[in-house]
Amino acid sequence: MIRHRLSTVATNAQGFDFGANWQAFSDALISEQRLATAMQSLQRLLERESLEGVSMLDVGCGSGLFSLAAHCLGARPVVGIDINPRSIAASEANCARLRPDASITFTRMSILDQAALTQLGRFDLVYAWGSLHHTGAMWEAITNTSRLVAPGGTLVLGIYKRHITSPIWRIIKRGYNHAPAWIQRGMIPPFAALIYIAKLLVTRRNPLEKQRGMDFWYDVIDWVGGYPYEYANAEEIITFLLLLGFRLRRVIPDGVPTGINEFVFEHAADPGHA
């Protein structure tokens, strides 16, 4: 089931078109194998084999891959939201291609649109991996996302790590989005080589062997162009969520200094989030 709703918050005109990148990734690479890898990623992260009886919200659904993965693991209902209409279109196409009978609702909506969010209700699992730091208002986005977690439910966040080079990357990303298309295309290959070498040296693993069903090349485009761009260290995120009534279940730091920290929180109480 596919449903579109126009948000009152428009995509940042000077920001990166994440939906175009997700469409290109989907057209070229989406497959059953990548879906299986995404399912395994969810199982490892949540430390459970099945999501039977779990309702799931995918915040910033991108290609819809993890909405599909949750559905395949038994989650019902599954809802994916994204502000970018191309992401909704990519999610719709991937669902039709891989699981045409899946009862997944994809809705165009901003996590900053509080009026629209109240219509969603709450979910047992809210998954916001790599999306909230691109809203231009990360802390507000985290707060709004936390309100969508049912009491006793699980919140998954993936947030960029704070690093000494983070302000430099913000300048690079902003410059990319203000540059003509031909300059943007020229920026990607040298950054891809730089990122490949850096990741290889730091992790001692082949950067082309991507986890979560993703792809190195499209991740590089996302990284270089991904603006708005915010970041935080793990302690900042943990402290903030504790104040919102959550307790930390686990944190998985990225091996790359500017990578993404993964957090799994549990809704410890119901401190009047509605």
Residue 161 has a pLDDT of 97
Threshold 0.95, pTM exceeds: no
Domains of the chain: 18-163+230-267 (3.40.50.150), 166-225 (no CATH)
Low-confidence ranges of the chain (pLDDT < 50): 1-13, 272-274
Residue 270 has a pLDDT of 56
Q: What is the pLDDT of residues 114-156, one digit of tens each?
A: 999 999 999 999 999 999 999 999 999 999 999 999 999 999 9
Q: Beta strand pairing status for 260-267 and 149-160?
A: antiparallel
